[in-house]
Structure 1
């Protein structure tokens, strides 16, 4: 997550453009937040942890200082310090190949790395085409060594490689505003969101069409792309948006900015400012109690759900 994603106060949702809008579905638990079993676990760092994913050998997280963490039977441990180039550039986004054998990371100053979770080796693909902009997020499809790689940049460009990072092309899907998030559900099919509150769709990995939310009037931070008719976006002011291929359904959860969202098999989680977590049961979003007030940056679903955030905070449930 880039420095541009500092949390801000909510502004009113006035209208949503680009597609038909279903009625707002507000479903908060009354009274105090419901306990959901979240626990804070010990970590070896105090730097911000910016993304987390499950790979073939377990969970991995990307952090400031170029740090990669691994969740082991003995707790979270540092497996890389300094990033792909060794310069300590912050790692803002992460993704894994379909087989889970490679953990890709991107970050500041053009940092791009491919970490082999089986061997512990790292390939450095930083500064593609001499680009050293900050990279915010990455999506990866395909198998290890044969991956398609999509990188969201501060410059408003998406950098994409169909040969496992050996060569990169680039496209500007919108007006040039920073691309805050990107996620793919098939080899070359997925979605991206930018700083102008626009959601883009692609079916070839290289050309993008806007599908709405230009007038949402809140920043868009998180995207979970599961199909052309199953898309989730989280944003400022507690907003969650669901797209069914025909229209958008917004849900207003309150004031906290929600910077990441993941929904899978009828359940989901979204996280954000002040340690806020909302859980989805297939019907409604309900706030869950957490043991931290730190800003949370990312979440991943699994046998153990994991959320990560500021100052080395990692929560597990």
Structure 2
């Protein structure tokens, strides 16, 4: 649920590490999960409606959720900056991604809702129902800088659509949409992400426990796993070396791209719905149901029992001056 870094903060979900179980499957790796005293605090939220996804931007963390809400942290307080979605129809927003320079977020959701928001200027852009698609968008990813970015969006019918800003005859850069592809048959695609390494590489996952890779901006997809996976998949992030997939039952699947091997890791007991990482040599954050947050550090996976019991849908690392953020059901916002 976001790809490259520049400017004063880190903005994209990427991953690193090693793997050790073949694509053909295998028993889940046993990895100690130590419970840690919580450093996460619940903060005041401007909404009681679910917040589905969050990213770090060049102007602090931004989040999206039900009723088309877009939220931002400004001067230490969370506030609604858009309350009706890209087309003012109040459709729910399911995912958010951010450009490489952190200056624009992209979001997508119900009834084909899709749009962008320039965080430095507060300007909103409506791209609802691109190519006439009005199915619910489940996931979105972007790479590249503002007005030059590539976007991939995926829906509940297993379709993915690629768009890119290209220069037209008048010299303006405008979004151009390509052809729809269907990497997962008819299965819902709940997560897509661009690789932090190769900007033309993207990863996707389906509700039929499959993972896919595209190296040509959505023109073709190749299935890369995951055999013998029995849990629901929720989110994906990766670079050229490692891909992470969060799943039900507290499981994370780690893929070694070079050796094409998957390792299932038992992190907790509850579904893990969101992932974040700022660089391959940095920790991984995972959002869990029941109010749990997990973090992969040099000391293994740490479990944080937060002050809330609500489900946590997504997490985002902060920057030099911004907190780490977790968001979830009933307007829940946590900061660290």
TM over 0.5: yes
Query: 1:28 aligned to 17, 27, 33, which one?
Result: 33
Name 1:123's counterpart in structure 2.
125
Q: 1:255 aligns with which of 252, 259, 269?
A: 269
Please state how far the C-alpha of 1:174 moved relative to its aligned partner.
Answer: 2.1
CA distance in 2, matches of 1:169, 1:146: 19
Deviation at 1:145, TM superposition (A): 0.8
Structure 1 CA distance, aligned partners of 2:318 and 2:242?
Answer: 20
Query: Gapped runs of 5+ residues in structure 2?
Result: 2-20, 166-173
* C-alpha separation in 2, matches of 1:281 and 1:82: 38
- SS of alignment partner, residue 50 of structure 1: strand
Map residues 1-317 of structure 1 onto 2, 5 A cutoff. 18-19=23-24, 24-29=29-34, 33-163=35-165, 165-185=175-195, 186-206=198-218, 207-227=220-240, 229-245=241-257, 246=259, 247-263=261-277, 264=279, 265-282=281-298, 284-303=300-319, 304-317=323-336
SS in 2 for 1:171: coil
Query: 2-side partners of 1:165 and 1:242: how far apart?
Result: 34
Query: Over aligned residue pairs, what C-alpha RMSD do you find?
Result: 1.7
Q: Deviations over 1:251-293 (max 9, x none)?
A: 1133201111223333111112111111110452121120100
Contact map agreement 1:155 1:178 (CA 8 A) in 2: yes
The separation in 2 between residues aligned to 1:214 and 1:85, in whole angstroms, is 40
Q: TM-score, normalised by structure 2?
A: 0.85
Instruction: Show CA shifts across 1:111-143 (max 9, x none).
Output: 111101111111111101111000111100111
Q: d(CA) in 2 for partners of 1:226 and 1:305? A: 21
Tell me, in whole angstroms, the C-alpha distance in 1 between the residues paired with 2:100 and 2:275: 20
Q: 1:65 is paired with a residue of what secondary structure?
A: helix
TM-score (norm 1): 0.90
Q: Which has the higher contact order (CA 8 A, sep 6+)?
A: 2
Inter-partner Cα distance in structure 2 for 1:278 and 1:92: 22
Contact 1:125-1:166 within 8 A present in 2 as well: no
Distance 1:74 1:119 in 2: 19
Tell me the secondary structure at the aligned position of residue 67 of structure 2.
Answer: helix
Q: Are residues 129 and 17 of structure 1, via their aligned partners in 2, closer, same or farther at CA, if it must alter by over 3 Å?
A: farther
Q: Distance in 2 between matches of 1:205 and 1:213?
A: 22
Aligned to 1:13: none
